Chains A and B, each alone.
Chain A
Amino acid sequence: MNPSAATRRPPLIRCREVRKSFNGVEVLRGVCLDVARGEVVCIIGPSGSGKSTLLRCINGLARIDGGSIHVDGLDVHDPATDRLALRRKVGMVFQQYNLFPHKTVLKNIMMAPLHVLREPRAEVEARARALIAKVRLQGKEDAYPGELSGGQQQRVAIARSLAMRPEVMLFDEVTAALDPETVSEVLVTIRELAAEGMTCVLVTHEMGFAREVADHVYFTDAGLIVEHAPAADFFNRPHDPRTQAFLAKVL
Chain B
Amino acid sequence: MGYIELEVLEDQPKRVVIGIDLGTTNSLPAIWKDGRPEVLEVEGEAALIPSVVHVSDNGTAVVGRTARARSMDDPAHTVHSIKRFMGRSLGELDESVLRRLPYKVSQTERGLVQVEVGGKRFTPQEISALILREVAAQASVAMGGAEVLSAVITVPAYFDDAQRQATRDAARLAGLEVLRIVNEPTAASLAYGLDQKEEGTVAVYDLGGGTFDVSILSIEEGVFQVLSTNGDTSLGGDDLDAALVDLLRGELEGAVDDAVFEEPAFRQAARLAAEKAKIALSKDPAADLVISIPELGVNARRTVTREEFEALSAPFVERSLRCCERALKDAGLEPGDVDEVVLVGGSTRVPLVRAEVERFFGRAPHTELNPDQVVALGAAAQAEVLMGGSRDILLMDVTPLSLGLETMGGAAEKLIQRNSRIPCSVKEGFTTYADNQSAIDFHVLQGERELAADCRSLGRFKLTGIPPMPAGLPRVGVKFHLDADGILTVSAKEESTGASASIEVKPSHGLTEDEVSAMLEASFKNAKKDFEERRRVDLIAEIGIMLRHATANLAVAEDRLDRESMEDLREAIASAKEARLCAELDLVQIARDTLDRATMPLAAVLMDSVVKEAVSGKKLGDL
Question: Is A bound to B?
Answer: no
